[in-house]
Structure 1
Amino acid sequence: MDAASFLPVDRMALFNPKRSDHAPRILLLYGSVRARSFSRLVTQEAARILEAFGAETRIFNPSGLPLPDDAPADHPKVQELRSLVQWSEGMVWCSPERHGAMTGIMKAQIDWIPLSLGSVRPTQGKTLAVMQVSGGSQSFNAVNQLRVLGRWMRLVTIPNQSSVAKAFTEFDDNDRMKPSPYYDRIVDVMEELIKFTWLTRDCAGYLVDRYSERKESAEALSARVNFKSI
């Protein structure tokens, strides 16, 4: 097989994409429905930071989202979530750590997001930042799990991450995060997310283009042509 056949047709797309001029679109998900949810408060702080960096943000409220497979896909909350995922160019996932893992509420949201919707792959090639909050000492169990899911969903999961220990001590009476190294780290993570989103959003199709899928498509097309010629 000729080496050129391994390469996508438009090899220069990575270096000279047509650049979008709209604000980066970032969807934020959090993993608790408590009245004073610290994952929600951290998510709201992240949204404010992203907007300061020039992003357009939307936060999905998971309250009322059914368990996966416990309702049809046309459930209003499922449709709302999927519509927001398709709208987004990047995402932030923030979960509390519960029993050493992400919460079921966080996982349910991710499980309702399909790898494909018809011919559209709603997550592939988009950026992702992962964060967690803990009630006790700092841990990284939830963010590690979220990274695994991010890779599975074919998201460009950025290197930086945030884990806020004893989150209940990090907010004032107005539910705003106090100045601290934890807050500074969230700023770092959101800045990195914006940079990766700017760099990749216009060439995501090129970055996730795969030889095996091009080969499969070519074989399917050849089979259709041969069938029609019979």
Structure 2
Amino acid sequence: MECHRRILMSVSFTNCYSVFLNRKCSRRRQCCSSKSKYYCCNWKDYQPDDWIARLHWKEVTNNNKNNHYEESRQEPVISPRILILYGSLRQGSLSKALAYEAARILYKLGADVRIYHPQSLPVQDPQYETHPKVQEFIQLYNWSQGQLWCSPVHHGSMSSVLKNQLDWYTFPPSGRTVAFCQVQGGQLSGAAVHHMFTIALSLNMIIAPCYLIVPETFREFSSEGRMKAGPYREKLVQVMEALYKLTCITNQQSPFFMESQLEYLT
């Protein structure tokens, strides 16, 4: 219940409340049919008591309703476009399982979510720029407004699988939002998150104010690849909520964040 209470909170950003309350089911069905290649939730496959299915945004009550909310609810709905990258090729990868769990949450919140699968992506080299997996990655990169990076810890850093994906960025993703998730088999360490943070800073990305580190990740997932109840699952909800809200805000002012607004007077 504590997990649910965290998500039941009122927000006060201009233009965000309409995104929270006015999502259309028909739009989601179209999303499922056209983007299933990358991943899209189909809630008919889940039981009504699924923990993610029970998440919802708090309705405006008479106690906290005001003109600001009423005006924002009338504006068009624009679902933030979020690309998820994970850093493992191993079958049964827990970083991939966490990426899918994050995608389920973001989709439930109202985002347009796609997961890029890095299998067969060549090592970064200009001679491979026309490779189909490279072109697919660049298209998703250009499509995205926000991103989630999820990596295991390899030799005290992020995995080379995720780093290779980031190396294929043809130009810095300035103005895009990003959040981080780290999985590891051992005790708590922030090595991968630290290096992802450094890379995001160098790319001029807008970093979410919280991140997730899951130590001994094998203990936190069921055999079906679903995250067990506990503090790390609650933290994942918190991080996805922050990424969703931040992307909604920056999306409303996309040119301002993604293009330089300063010049010298002549």
Preserved contact between residue 20 and residue 202 of structure 1 (Cα < 8 Å): no
Alignment match of 2:154 (pick from 90, 98, 109): 98
SS in 2 for 1:108: helix
Question: 2:246: which partner in 1?
Answer: 196
Q: Does 1:50 align with 2:106?
A: yes
Residues 82/20 of structure 1: CA separation in 2 closer, same or farther (3 Å cut): farther
Q: Which residue of 2 aligns with 1:61?
A: 117
TM-score, with length taken from structure 2: 0.69
Aligned twin of 1:127: 177
Alpha-carbon distance in 2 for matches of 1:200, 1:164: 28
Contact 2:176–2:258 at 8 Å: present in 1 too? no
Shift in Å, 1:209: 4.4
1:76 corresponds to which of 128, 132, 137 = 132
By how many angstroms is 1:202 displaced? 2.0
What residue is the counterpart of 2:42 in the other structure? none
Paired residue secondary structure (2:236): helix
Which amino acid in structure 2 is aligned with residue 201 of structure 1?
N
Shift in Å at residue 204 of structure 1? 2.7
**Structure 2 residue aligned with 1:154, among 204, 207, 210?**
204
Separation in structure 1 between the aligned mates of residue 227 and residue 129 of structure 2, nearest angstrom: 36
For residues 109-188 of structure 1, the aligned pairs below 5 Å read 109-115=165-171, 123-188=173-238
Structure 2 alignment gaps of length 5 or more:
1-13, 16-74
Q: Deviations over 1:6-64 (max 9, x none)?
A: xxxxxxxxx89xx7622111100000000011110000000000011111100000010
- Using the size of structure 1 for normalisation, the TM-score is 0.79
Identity of aligned residues (%): 39
Specify the code of the residue in structure 1 equivalent to 2:217.
Answer: A
Aligned to 1:40: 96
Residue 207 of structure 1: which of 227, 252, 257 is its match? Answer: 257
Amino acid at match of 1:53: L
- Distance in 2 (alpha carbons) for counterparts of 1:181 and 1:95: 19
Aligned length: 195
RMSD value, Cα: 2.0
Segments ≥4 residues shifted beyond 2 Å? 19-22, 207-212
**What's the CA shift for 1:207?**
3.1
Instruction: Give the distance between the partners of 1:133 and 1:71, measured in 2 at CA.
Output: 33
Cα 1:88–1:20 change in 2 (3 A) is farther
2:144 aligned residue: 88
Alignment of 1:1-40 (within 5 A): 21-40=77-96
Contact 1:127/1:193 (<8 A) preserved: yes
- Aligned partners of 1:193 and 1:179: how far apart in 2? 21
> What's 1:6 paired with?
none
Structure number with greater Rg is 1
Deviation string, structure 1 residues 85-136 (Cα, Å, up to 9, x no partner)? 11111000000001110011010000001226xxxxxx21111011110110
**Contact 2:102 2:236 (C-alpha < 8 Å) held by counterparts:** yes
What is the identity, as a one-letter code, of the residue corresponding to 2:91? A
